[in-house]
Structure 1
């Protein structure tokens, strides 16, 4: 088995590692797993709308994947965690982001409603699994 290699997302990654002692991604062999990424900016501030928060979470995942050497085309599995249920704008925005970032494939997806996430302001958290080509 390959030795795990851990990655910090530029910007907010060092802050989260210092404050909460975790990394944003791990690579083992050709598999990359991300921790849940929220819709925060580098100062851990959140947008007003849930739609903008989802869009920012995808941008954060884009940066996290790139830091670990992957792209959205390598993503095979998505888990999303949602506070506040699933009003139409949630699935509409998630679907729009899937089509934007993964226009040529549809990963598997588990969508879960939760009571709370790691920071009180969070309404969305997304984690992914990517498999790099051999």
Structure 2
């Protein structure tokens, strides 16, 4: 069996490990799973703009993947959680930015994706959270 190794993203991940007792990523063999990443900076501030928050969440996923030796081109699964704009839909503003970031960061790769609308996330002002599964070097497969 492959060894299990946990990772704390430098900056906010180290803070969460110390204060909340959880890791940002785990690697078992070639598989990397992340905890949910929000659009925060290292001091847990959130941008005013939804677009900037989603882009920062993607940046934080990238930072976290890198700590475990992976990148966006290795991602096979995305789960995203969104504070819905209304009771009927997550909203085009969320979808447009998410899809744009998928295309910019993963090129032709289209991972499986589950989007979930929620009423609240783990921090005040937080509107999006993204967690991923990656298989290192899977970008060369299929």
Q: TM-score range by the shorter chain?
A: over 0.9
Cα drift, residue 104 of structure 1: 2.2
Deviation beyond 3 Å, 4+ runs, structure 1 = none
- Which residue matches 1:2? 2
What per-residue deviation string (whole Å, max 9, x for no partner) do you get for residues 72-103 of structure 1? 11100000000124221110000000001001
- Which residue matches 1:97? 101
- Where does the alignment leave 5 or more consecutive residues of structure 2 unmatched? none
Cα drift, residue 67 of structure 1: 0.7
Secondary structure of 1:65's aligned partner: helix
Distance 1:109 1:84 in 2: 17
Distance 1:127 1:45 in 2: 19
Distance 1:133 1:66 in 2: 13
- Number of equivalences: 134
Distance 1:3 1:119 in 2: 32
- Which residue matches 1:77? 77
- Where does the alignment leave 5 or more consecutive residues of structure 1 unmatched? none
Q: TM-score, normalised by structure 1?
A: 0.96
Q: TM-score, normalised by structure 2?
A: 0.91
Cα drift, residue 121 of structure 1: 1.6
What are the equivalent positions in structure 2 for 1:43-122 lying under 5 Å apart? 43-85=43-85, 86-122=90-126
Q: CA RMSD in A?
A: 1.1
Secondary structure of 2:77's aligned partner: strand
